[in-house]
Amino acid sequence: MSEPPHPSRAVAGAAAAICVCCPGASQSGREQLRLRTVTRSKPIWMLTGDKLETATCIAKSSHLVSRTQDTHVFRPEGRQASLAADFSVPQFKHIGRLLMVHGRSSYKRSAALSQFVMHRGLIISTMQAVFSSVFYFASVPLYQGFLMVGYATVYTMFPVFSLVLDQDVKPEMAMLYPELYRDLTKGCIRKDVRVAFRFELLSFTHGGILMSGALVLFESEFVHVVAISFTALVLTELLMVALTVRTWHWLMVVAELLSLGCYVASLAFLNKYFDLAFITTVTFVWKVSAITVVSCLPLYVLKYLKRKLSPPSYSKLSS
């Protein structure tokens, strides 16, 4: 079979290194169907047999696939054969949606989640480094106690994890254009390294601006530096998540408001870290707003210009 029909063509192009075993599809146990894709030269071997063990043994003994290569089962013969595979799919037609919709969305959402977790940790580390350098690299912690715990949990956790609900294109569009899945594999290693360095640079920029702005606007007491910088830090993290979302879900809005509400409510009993008389003044509000805008606005403008000058493939389809 020289060219598999749709959606097999897209599936084969996306997973040209797997071995597909179909137990129960043939009683001879020796029928082999080689599918060559249009976009890649590597073959997919579809092996059939009366049992799963028969198909896999034929594949490995004839050196069609390596002994360490994964096997994927379609139309499994009983629960035992299904449990012996990496994962099982009842019908072959489900593979298209599994890869093109759920697989693509899972990859992009997991990448966004990991990037923001990395950004959340690097930005506060950068602020601590800038703060320590001002005091001749003395081991003076910037944030202590509940501030660190709250920043890692209730203040920023909900919006970051709500990114798993984001989607750039509709499922019907992803099934209609399998090229969107192929875009994920183009230079994936180089692309991942570039994105990682970009988020690291973004974290260093945010941390430097937030800490430098808090020190410049510092007036008399050290507790004011903590209040200004930490509030601007939480707002910056919430804004960065909001600016990254492509399709809003109502749970994303709830996550943003819940985190912001938890922080505002916790200010009432955090008098150990904040001066309650100072955080209720207009001076505190405009200083925090100024630092947050300076840290987020230039980067948002650059991101907007990049999308306009070099839009991604999914934006061309959704427009």
Q: What is the pLDDT along the chain (319 residues), one digit of tens a residue?
A: 334 444 444 333 343 334 444 444 443 433 333 333 333 444 555 555 556 667 677 777 777 667 666 666 555 455 665 666 666 777 777 888 888 888 888 888 888 888 888 888 899 999 999 988 887 887 888 888 888 999 988 999 999 899 889 888 888 888 888 788 777 766 555 566 777 788 888 889 888 999 888 888 876 667 788 888 999 999 999 998 998 888 889 999 999 999 999 999 988 888 888 888 888 888 888 989 999 999 888 878 888 887 788 777 666 665 5
Choosing from 92, 123, 148, the residue where a domain stops is: 92
Same domain flag for 223 and 306: yes
DSSP state of 56: H
Where in the sequence is the domain holding 25, given as residue range(s)?
8-92
2 domain-assigned: no
**H or E element: which one contains 89?**
strand 88-89
259 domain-assigned: yes
3 domain-assigned: no
Q: Using CA atoms, how far apart are residues 81 and 90, in angstroms rounded to an integer?
A: 12
Same domain flag for 81 and 130: no
131 domain-assigned: yes
65 domain-assigned: yes
Give the chain's domain count.
Answer: 2
Buried b (16+ CB within 10 A) or exposed e, 222-259: eebbbbbbbbbbbbbbbbbbeeebeeeeeebeebbebb
Global pTM reads: 0.69
Pairing of strands 32-36, 19-23: unpaired
Same domain flag for 164 and 187: yes
